[in-house]
Amino acid sequence: MSDLNGYKSGSNLEKILRAGHFAVTAELGPPKNADAEVIRKKAALLKGCVEAANITDNQTAIVRMSSIGAGALALREGLEPVMQMTCRDRNRLGMQGDLLGAYALGLRNILCLTGDHQTFGNHPQAKNVHDMDSVQLVQMVVGLRDKGCFQCGEEIKGVVPRFFVGAAENPFGDPFEFRPLRLGKKAKAGADFIQTQMIYNVPKFREFMKRVVDLGVHKQTYILAGVGPLKTPGAAKYMRDQVPGMDVPDEIVERMETAGKGIEDKKAKAAAYREEGLKICIDIIHQMREIEGVAGAHIMAIEWEEAVKPIVEGAGLLPRPVVEAVPST
Amino acid sequence: MIVAEQKPLEEIRSLTGDAKRVLVVGCGTCVTVCFAGGAREAAIVTASLRMASKIDGHEKAVTEATVQRQCEWEYLDEIAEQVRHADLVLSLGCGVGVQALAERYPDAVVVPGLNTTFMGLPLEQGVWAERCAACGQCILGLTGGVCPIARCSKQLLNGPCGGSSKGKCEVNPEIDCAWQMIYDKLKSQNRLHLIMEITPPKDWRTSRDGGPRKIVREDLRLPVAGKV
Ligand code: SF4
Ligand code: SF4
């Protein structure tokens, strides 16, 4: 891999993590239409604040511009994309074909996901695929890169796609005690980095990370802690009560509620909520930096990309480092 | 067993169209046990169709018959006469029964009276649940006897996904998370090592993805006439 100077993919995210910097990634949600301008605007908000931005793949099973298309547009704007890919919508043929296309377009990072069930989205009548699961997808993308082989074992003749391969894990999913072990399975599959589900329950996440560190998994893969700003107390409650696998402690909901107390003006109240949401998010990032095994933060400001810059700035993480040096190994 | 549900009477009526003589055929096996298409249900559907056709002024002659097993051609011979006299056969068998009837009597118009739903078992009186999706390569030995193909909403082989919460599946709280069950079972049996290794992608050729399936057992086949 002399062409990549020892890097697996040569992506900016990989370079930052290999250099030992606390990495920052964010999320860019593509539009529910074919407007490239939306991507340009959102990319402008994130550029310079993060190493790379995840481009979601039909998130929550709602049809949106493809992560590859939107990722290629982001790249043109100078924002490095992390293409998300779910196992819900394509089989191994579709996924590998897309991986070749994405690489040819210049995409270098991928996040392998199972995908939210289609019954949550706007096409609940759809047939789901799940030919493979996310662990197997990680293995497949790593195999393309390291073995130069398709999933079937056939050699790739010509340019081999070399991605920096990520996976997600939900520390708050059940069974809680199996989660660090499952993370270990993803690392074993070859995941270079992990982005976690949004963390609001910091003590529980600490417990999770302690187990991860005991197992040595943090040495096998870079773990980016997922965080996200809350907009309103209502959103916090919704996540607490309605979203399977989310853990939002009551203190967080109360903190949001308190922020708007006594404010009559609607606009001012909304602004106070948002400000508190940003503060909570910044606080959590500070706490994440103290936890052993956490290599970075992944900021999920869903349909609120404007929030990313103040969060990164507030957490003292601006300007972002630039790494050009060759890694030692 | 195969579990099925009766179609709504309205749909059954529209499927019977303007046929004058309708034969309702029940089945004495799985669909009897799940109260969807046995002799009892055949009698009720027959009476309902008769009554409904009388009310709308296009009276049909509706008769009924129940065979022991609709999914085997030989069990269908006994109703040959009745089928010949009918304009339309309404099968209350599972999808296999409907097709067996249609194959045994190529000239007959056969329509389904049931929606065949899954292979499963009764959990309690009046409640059935899916257990197997006939994937053709059983992995229950790896998963503590809980099938992730039929019972995990995403057919994960390296589950659970991030949506598993308090033992329930993210899809809805009525569904138990198969992977929570797999975990609990293997843990209680001290066999968690079975899911510590990565299970490779499944070869779906043995499932429906390889095309319609067929089993040929040479050891059981009858000698072909003329060949030794
Ligand atoms: S693994 Fe396949 S054959 Fe076994 S119970 Fe599940 S679907 Fe049926
Ligand atoms: S919650 Fe459990 S049963 Fe539902 S899709 Fe996820 S792993 Fe499968």
Tens-place pLDDT, residues A253-284: 999 999 999 999 999 999 999 999 999 999 99
DSSP state of A155: B
Confidence of residue B228 (pLDDT cuts 50, 70, 90): low
Domain range summary for chain A, segments of one domain joined by +: 12-314
Count of CB atoms within 10 A of residue B80's CB? Answer: 11
For the structural domain made of A12-314, what CATH number should be given? 3.20.20.220
ipTM of the complex: 0.94
Q: How far is A178 from chain B (nearest CA, A)?
A: 8
Residue identifier of the C-alpha nearest atom 1 of ligand 1: B138
Q: How far is A77 from chain B (nearest CA, A)?
A: 32
Helix (H, G, I), strand (E, B) or coil at B104: helix
What are the pLDDT digits (tens) for B72-122? 999 999 999 999 999 999 999 999 999 999 999 999 999 999 999 999 999
Residue-level pLDDT at B15: 98
Cβ-Cβ contacts under 8 Å for A151 (sequence gap 6 or more): A92, A96, A140, A143, B201
Position with higher pLDDT, A40 vs B222: A40
Does the structure show a pLDDT above 80 at A329?
no
Residue-level pLDDT at A326: 60
d(CA A84, CA A60): 13
Count of CB atoms within 10 A of residue A241's CB? Answer: 10
Q: Are the beta carbons of A232 and A270 closer than 8 angstroms?
A: yes
What are the pLDDT digits (tens) for A176-220? 999 999 999 999 999 999 999 999 999 999 999 999 999 999 999
* Residue indicated by tokens 């019954």: A119
What are the pLDDT digits (tens) for B14-58? 999 999 999 999 999 999 999 999 999 999 999 999 999 999 889
What are the pLDDT digits (tens) for B147-206? 999 999 999 999 999 999 999 999 999 999 999 999 999 999 999 999 999 999 999 999
Residues 126-155 of A with CB under 8 A from B: 128, 130-136, 139-140, 151
Residue-level pLDDT at B224: 79
Does the structure show a pLDDT above 80 at B226?
no
Confidence of residue B223 (pLDDT cuts 50, 70, 90): confident
Confidence of residue A1 (pLDDT cuts 50, 70, 90): very low
* Residue A36 one-letter amino acid: A
* Residue indicated by tokens 């004495």: B28
DSSP string, A243-262: STT----HHHHHHHHHHHTT
What ligand 1 atom has the least distance to the C-alpha of B151?
6
Does the structure show a pLDDT above 90 at A310?
yes
d(CA A90, CA A96): 10
Q: How far is B171 from chain A (nearest CA, A)?
A: 7
Question: What percentage of residues in chain A have a pLDDT greater than 70?
Answer: 98
Please report which ligand is nearest the Cα atom of B147. 1
> Which H or E run contains B223?
none
Q: For chain A, first and last CA: distance in Å? A: 12
Q: What is the pTM of this model?
A: 0.95
For the structural domain made of B2-118, what CATH number should be given? 3.40.50.2300
Q: What are phi and psi of B51, to 5 degrees?
A: -60, -50
Q: What are phi and psi of A215, to 5 degrees?
A: -80, -10
Q: What are phi and psi of A54, to 5 degrees?
A: -70, 135
Domain range summary for chain B, segments of one domain joined by +: 2-118, 135-210
d(CA A1, CA A258): 55
| Ligand 1 pocket, mutate which of B121, B130, B138, B205 (most atoms under 8 A from CB) | B138
d(CA A37, CA A73): 9
d(CA B180, CA B167): 6
Residues of B in contact with A130 (CB under 8 A): 154-156
In the structure, which protein residues have their CB atom closer than 6 angstroms to any atom of ligand 2?
B 152-154, 156, 159-161, 163-164, 169-171, 177-179
Q: Are the beta carbons of A41 and A29 closer than 8 angstroms?
A: no
Distances (CA, A) of B25 to A64, B28, B41, B53, B210: 48, 10, 10, 18, 32
Which residues on adjacent β-strands are paired with residue B203?
A: none
Residue-level pLDDT at A2: 44
Cβ-Cβ contacts under 8 Å for A276 (sequence gap 6 or more): A230, A255, A256, A258, A259, A260
